[in-house]
Amino acid sequence: MAIDARDAEAGKVYRVTRGAMDGTYYTLHKGCRKKLTQRLQKRRNALNGQQMGLLVSLLRKPDWPVFTWHHRGTDPFTGEKFEVTNTQVLPPDLRLREVKSKPGY
């Protein structure tokens, strides 16, 4: 069953209902939004482009939920397992569905 991103619960794993890549999923960000914003503002001059974009999104869209995007998979050449994470601000009306296990590998 699909839910809106604003209704997501901590500790659960979600996938986007349309257009998701294999091995990708979202979890609600563990930290406090206010502390994340303060930490990024404190380091403002040393941020890379991705972190600056996150800070701007946090400041401009205070009612949008903060998620952690995960991508898990296996390297096609070496066969090594990898996992990449990224903090993102998602629109509150984005449709997500809960999954029982983390996709990937």
Amino acid symbol at 14 = Y
Q: Average pLDDT over the chain, rounded to whole?
A: 90
pLDDT of residue 3: 93
Contact status, residue 1 vs residue 92, Cβ threshold 8 Å: no
The pTM (predicted TM-score) of the whole model is 0.85
Q: Per residue in 43-68, pLDDT tens? A: 988 999 999 999 999 999 999 999 99
Tell me: pLDDT of 32 over 90: no
User: Residues 18-39: what's their mean pLDDT?
Assistant: 87
Q: Where are the domains of the chain?
A: 2-99
pLDDT of residue 27: 93
User: What's 66's DSSP letter?
Assistant: E
List CB contacts of 32: < 8 A, sequence separation 6 or more: none
Q: How far apart are CA 66 and CA 49, in angstroms?
A: 18
- Which of 70, 71, 65, 69 lies closest to 32 in space, CA to CA? 65
- If one counts every other C-beta atom within 10 angstroms of the C-beta of residue 8, the result is 19
Point out the least confidently predicted range of 15-19, 32-36, 64-68: 15-19
Tell me: pLDDT of 12 over 90: yes
